[in-house]
C-alpha cells in the first residue's frame, strides 16, 4: 500500500516534478543506435520524461537530441531535411545543428546575426554499446558516462532490444525486482524458452514455489536475494541488482547470456523497456542472437518497423487459452516479455497503489519505493546527488548460486555481484 | 509510435484511464493481525517509536525473555505474556534486530511461527553487520529479511502490510 500522494510523487516524471528531476540526474537510454544507422539518415521522434524531441545524426556522424519543434512556427522537425550538418525545417528552411543552435534563417539577410539568438533546447546524445544515451539535467552536474557492463563488452557479446510498454514506468520497473512471480507467470518459459531452458537452477525454481527473500542496500540501489531450497543443507540463491533509478538485472541461468532491463519513462502513462542480453566472456552464438531477434527470453517480437510488440493490448496480447490449458504458458500469453507487460498494462496507465495488499515477499518493492522517494526528496530539498549516478555503482552483476544454508548471500557473493572483466557470471 | 485506435480490443478498453473509474472502490479492511517483536534494546527503542503511530491491529513486544522452547514476550509497558499466547492468532510476525543478542529469541520465534503457519519477516537495522548471528538464526524461518540502515524501513513495511 502506498498513499496516493506518494504514488503521485513516484510516478510523475515530467519537468519540475521531484521524480522527473531525479531521472534528470542520470544518463538514460534515449533510443537504440540502430534507429540512427548512418549519417544524414531520417530523424527520429523521441519522447522522454514527458518532453518531445527529435534525434538525428548529422553529416559528420554527430548525434543530436533537440526540441522537436521549430522555433519559427512550431512545425515538427521530424519532417526536417537532415543535410549539410544540420536539420532543416522544411516549412521555411530554418536549420539547426546537433546542439539545437539555429545556424540558418533563409529569410534573413546573408550577414544577419539573427539566428545566433535562436537556440532550441538540446541534450547530449552519446553512443555507448548499442544504445544512444542522453542526460536531460543541468549541464553543470552532468555525471560521467554510464559503465553498465552490457554496453561495454565487445559488440559480438551483447544484444539490446526495446519495446513500447503502455503503462507508467514504475509498475513496469517493479516487475524487474519481483522475483516471486517467475515461478508462476514464467513457468512455461523455464521449460521451453531457448534462452532459459536447460539450467539446473530452473529445477530449483520450479520445485520451490515459495521463495524466501533478503533485501539489502547496495551503493547504487539494492540487492534482492531470492532463496529456494536446493540439495540437502543448501539453498539456491537468485540475486537481482537494482541500480537507481531504473536498471535491473535478471539472475542468470546456466551458461545462457545474462539479461536485464532499463525502464525509461516516455510520459506518465507509457515507458520504454530496454531489454538486453550479454555474455561477459564469450560471443553470443548465432542461435542465441536469432532467438533474441525472434522475441525469446526477455525480448519481444515487434511489429516490423516499430518497437511495438506484435502481441499488444489492441489484440488482447494474442492470448491462447488452449496453450494455457495445455500448460505451455501459465497465463495464455506467449513470451516472458509480454507475459509481464500484459499484466502490468492491465493495471491501468498508473495503478492506484493505495489499494494494494502487499505481503512480506514484496519487501524489495517496498524498499525500492522508499529509496526512490527519499532520493527524490533529498535532491529537491537539499540537492543531494542520488545513488546510481556514480558510474562505479553501475558495475554490478546478477548472480545465481548454491550456498550452504548458514551462509549469507551478501558475504558469499561479494565478488559474484561485481563486474570483473574476463570472469564469467556466477550461474547455476 | 501509434496511440490512436478506432476499435479498441477488450484489453485496450479495460486498461484505459477512463475505465479505471469503474473499479470497485470499497474500503480495504486491515488484513493482518501483526505482532512486532524487538529482540534487543536498540530495536526496542525503534519499536517504541513505531508503536506511537496509529496501527489497526499491530501489537508491539520485546523478546528478551524468549528462550528455546518458549519464554515470555513483554509488552512495551513491561507486562509479560507467554510467547505462544501472544503469537497464536497472529498472521504475521515482524522481528526487529540490531545486534546478535537476540539470536536465541529469533530462533525460538522463527520456529514457533514456522510450526503454526505464521509468516515471519525480519528487519535488521544497522550500518554494519552487527546482527549476523540474529540474521542467521532468523534465515531459516523469515519469509523476508530486510537488512537496512534506515529505521523508517520498518515503518514502511508495516504500512505496506496494512497492519
Q: Does A345 touch chain B (CB under 8 A)?
A: yes
Residue of B nearest to A46 (CA): B1
Whole-angstrom distance, CA of residue B47 vs CA of residue B53 = 10
Q: How confident is the model at residue A4 (pLDDT cuts 50, 70, 90)?
A: very high
pLDDT (0 to 100) of residue A207: 87
Q: Quote the percentage of chain A above a pLDDT of 90.
A: 91
Burial zone of B150 (CB within 10 Å; 0-12 exposed, 13-18 middle, 19+ buried): middle
**Mean pLDDT score, A51-66:** 98
Residues B15, A367: C-beta atoms closer than 8 Å: no
pLDDT for A115: 95
Answer whether A320 touches B (CB < 8 Å). Answer: no
d(CA B96, CA B83): 16
Mind giving me the DSSP string for B80-118?
EEEHHHHHTT-SEEEEEESSGGGHHHHHHHHHHHHHHT-
Q: Where in chain A is the domain with CATH 2.102.10.10?
A: 36-135
Taking residues A253-281, what's their average pLDDT?
98
Class of domain A36-135: mainly beta
Query: How far is residue A335 CA from its own chain's centroid?
Result: 18
What are the structural domain ranges in chain B? 30-160
Give the span between the Cα atoms of A354 and A4, in whole angstroms: 6
| Residue-level pLDDT at B6 | 55
Number of neighbouring beta carbons within 10 Å of residue A161:
23
Give the pLDDT mean for A52-68.
Answer: 98
Binning pLDDT at 50, 70 and 90, where does residue B129 land?
Answer: low
Q: Quote the CA–CA distance of B86 and B66 in Å, as a whole number.
A: 12
Give the model's pLDDT for residue B141.
Answer: 86
Q: Which of residues 389-418 of A touch B (CB under 8 A)?
A: 405-406, 408, 410
* Contacting residues of A for B14, CB less than 8 Å apart: 346
The answer to whether residue B3 scores a pLDDT higher than 70 is: no
Chain B residues within an 8 Å CB radius of A306: 1-2
From the list B136, B144, B159, the residue facing A363 with the nearest CB is: B144
Residue B105 and residue B126: Cα distance in Å, rounded? Answer: 19
Least confident of A241-250, A410-419, B98-107, B109-118: B98-107
- pLDDT at A136 exceeding the cut of 60: yes
Chain B residue numbers with beta carbons less than 8 Å from the beta carbon of A345 are: 11, 15
- Tell me how far apart the alpha carbons of residues A363 and A223 are, in angstroms, rounded to a whole number: 12
Q: Which residues pair with A227 in a beta bridge?
A: A212, A237
What residue spans in chain A does CATH classification 3.90.380 cover?
149-413
Q: How far apart are CA A420 and CA A396, in angstroms?
A: 9
Residue-wise pLDDT for A354-399, tens only, equals 999 999 999 999 999 999 999 999 999 999 999 999 999 999 999 9
Look at A75-84, A332-341, B49-58, B123-132 and tell me which has the smallest mean pLDDT: B123-132
Q: For residue A122, what pLDDT band results from cuts at 50, 70 and 90?
A: very high
Strand B144-148 vs strand A212-217: parallel, antiparallel, or unpaired? parallel
Tell me the per-residue pLDDT of B21-73, one tens digit each, with 9 for 90 and over. Answer: 888 888 887 667 899 999 999 999 999 999 999 998 899 999 877 777 678 99
CB contact under 8 A, A346 and B28: no
Quote the mean pLDDT of chain A.
96
Pairwise CA distance, residues A312 & A163, whole Å: 11
**What would the pLDDT profile of B68-124 be if each residue is shown by its tens digit?**
767 899 999 989 999 999 999 999 999 999 988 888 888 899 999 999 999 999 999
Would you state the pLDDT for residue A317?
97
Q: Do B119 and A316 touch (CB under 8 A)?
A: no
Residue A384: the pLDDT is: 98
CB contact under 8 A, A363 and B146: yes
8 Å CB contact of A360 and B145 = no
What pLDDT does residue A210 have? 87
pLDDT value at residue A291: 97
- Determine which of A339, A360, A367, A411 to mutate to test the interface with B (most B C-beta atoms within 10 Å): A360
Point out which residues pair with A401 in neighbouring strands: A237
Regarding predicted confidence, which is higher, B103 or A256? A256
Q: Which residue of A has its CA nearest to B159?
A: A1
Q: What is the pLDDT of residue B128?
A: 60
Residue contacts between A and B (CB atoms, under 8 Å)? 124
Q: What is the pLDDT, as a whole number, of residue B103? A: 84
Q: Which residues of A touch B31 (CB under 8 A)?
A: 357
* CATH fold for domain A149-413: Naphthalene 1,2-dioxygenase Alpha Subunit; Chain A, domain 1 (3.90.380)
Lowest mean pLDDT among A37-41, A240-244, B135-139, B154-158: B135-139
For helices A363-382 and B152-160, the axis angle rounded to 10 degrees is 130
| pLDDT at A289 (0 to 100) | 98
Give the mutation candidate from B134, B145, B150 for the A interface (greatest A CB count, under 10 A): B145
Q: Is the link from the previous residue into B2 a cis peptide, with omega within 30 of 0?
A: no
Report the gap between the CA of A67 and the closest CA in chain B (Å): 17
Which CATH number does the domain B30-160 belong to among 3.30.450.40, 3.40.50.1440, 1.20.1290.10, 3.40.605.10? 3.40.50.1440
Residues 43-82 of A with CB under 8 A from B: 45, 47
DSSP A302: B
Amino acid at each position: 500500500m502506498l498513499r496516493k500522494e506518494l504514488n503521485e510523487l513516484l510516478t510523475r516524471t515530467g519537468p519540475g516534478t521531484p521524480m522527473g528531476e531525479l531521472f534528470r540526474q542520470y544518463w538514460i537510454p534515449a533510443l537504440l543506435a540502430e534507429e540512427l544507422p548512418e549519417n544524414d539518415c531520417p530523424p527520429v521522434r523521441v519522447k522522454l520524461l514527458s518532453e518531445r524531441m527529435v534525434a538525428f545524426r548529422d553529416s559528420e556522424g554527430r548525434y543530436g537530441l533537440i526540441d522537436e519543434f521549430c522555433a519559427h512556427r512550431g512545425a515538427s522537425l521530424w519532417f526536417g531535411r537532415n543535410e549539410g550538418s544540420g536539420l532543416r525545417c522544411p516549412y521555411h528552411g530554418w536549420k539547426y545543428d546537433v546542439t539545437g543552435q539555429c545556424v540558418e534563417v533563409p529569410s534573413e539577410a546573408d550577414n544577419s546575426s539573427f539566428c545566433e539568438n535562436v537556440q532550441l533546447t538540446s541534450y547530449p546524445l552519446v553512443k555507448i554499446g548499442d544504445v544512444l544515451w542522453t542526460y536531460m539535467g543541468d549541464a553543470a552536474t552532468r555525471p560521467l558516462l554510464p559503465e553498465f557492463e552490457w554496453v561495454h563488452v565487445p559488440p559480438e557479446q551483447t544484444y539490446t532490444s526495446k519495446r513500447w510498454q503502455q503503462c507508467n514506468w514504475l509498475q513496469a520497473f517493479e516487475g524487474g525486482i519481483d522475483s516471486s512471480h517467475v515461478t508462476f507467470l514464467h513457468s512455461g518459459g523455464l521449460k521451453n524458452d531457448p534462452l532459459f531452458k536447460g539450467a539446473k537452477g530452473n529445477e530449483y525454481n520450479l520445485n520451490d514455489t515459495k521463495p524466501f527473500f533478503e533485501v539489502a542496500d547496495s551503493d547504487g540501489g539494492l540487492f534482492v536475494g531470492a532463496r529456494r531450497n536446493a540439495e540437502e543443507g543448501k539453498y539456491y540463491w537468485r540475486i537481482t541488482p537494482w541500480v537507481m533509478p531504473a536498471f535491473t538485472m535478471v539472475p542468470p541461468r546456466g551458461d545462457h547470456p545474462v539479461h536485464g532491463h532499463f525502464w525509461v519513462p516516455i510520459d506518465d502513462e507509457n515507458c520504454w523497456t530496454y531489454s538486453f542480453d550479454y555474455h561477459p566472456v564469450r560471443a553470443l552464438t548465432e542461435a542465441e542472437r536469432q532467438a533474441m531477434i525472434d522475441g525469446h527470453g526477455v525480448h519481444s517480437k515487434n511489429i516490423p518497423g516499430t518497437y511495438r510488440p506484435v502481441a499488444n493490448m489492441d489484440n488482447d496480447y494474442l492470448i491462447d487459452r488452449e496453450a494455457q490449458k495445455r500448460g505451455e504458458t501459465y497465463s495464455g500469453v506467449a513470451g516472458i516479455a509480454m507475459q509481464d507487460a500484459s499484466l502490468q498494462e492491465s493495471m491501468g496507465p498508473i495503478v492506484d497503489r493505495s489499494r494494494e495488499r502487499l505481503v512480506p515477499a514484496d519487501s524489495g518493492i517496498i524498499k525500492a519505493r522508499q529509496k526512490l522517494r527519499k532520493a527524490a526528496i533529498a535532491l529537491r530539498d537539499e540537492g543531494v546527488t542520488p545513488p546510481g549516478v556514480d558510474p562505479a555503482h553501475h558495475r554490478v552483476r546478477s548472480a545465481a548460486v548454491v550456498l550452504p544454508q548458514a551462509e549469507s548471500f551478501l558475504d558469499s557473493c561479494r565478488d559474484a555481484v561485481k563486474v570483473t572483466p574476463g570472469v564469467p557470471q556466477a550461474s547455476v | 509510435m501509434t496511440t490512436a485506435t478506432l476499435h479498441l480490443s477488450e484489453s485496450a478498453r479495460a486498461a484505459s484511464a477512463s475505465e479505471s473509474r469503474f473499479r470497485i472502490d470499497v474500503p480495504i479492511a486491515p488484513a493482518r493481525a501483526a505482532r512486532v517483536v524487538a529482540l534487543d534494546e536498540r530495536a526496542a527503542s525503534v519499536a517504541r517509536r513505531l508503536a506511537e503511530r496509529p496501527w489497526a491491529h499491530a501489537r508491539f513486544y520485546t523478546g528478551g525473555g524468549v528462550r528455546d522452547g518458549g519464554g515470555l514476550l513483554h509488552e512495551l509497558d513491561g507486562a509479560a505474556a507467554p510467547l505462544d499466547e501472544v503469537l497464536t492468532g497472529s498472521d504475521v510476525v515482524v522481528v526487529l534486530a540490531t545486534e546478535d543478542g537476540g539470536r536465541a529469541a529469533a530462533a525460538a520465534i522463527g520456529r514457533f511461527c514456522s510450526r503454526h503457519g505464521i509468516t515471519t519477516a525480519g528487519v535488521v537495522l544497522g550500518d554494519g553487520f552487527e546482527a549476523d548471528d540474529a540474521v542467521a538464526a532468523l534465515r531459516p524461518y523469515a519469509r523476508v529479511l530486510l537488512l537496512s540502515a534506515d529505521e523508517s524501513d520498518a515503518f514502511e513495511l508495516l504500512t505496506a502490510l496494512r497492519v
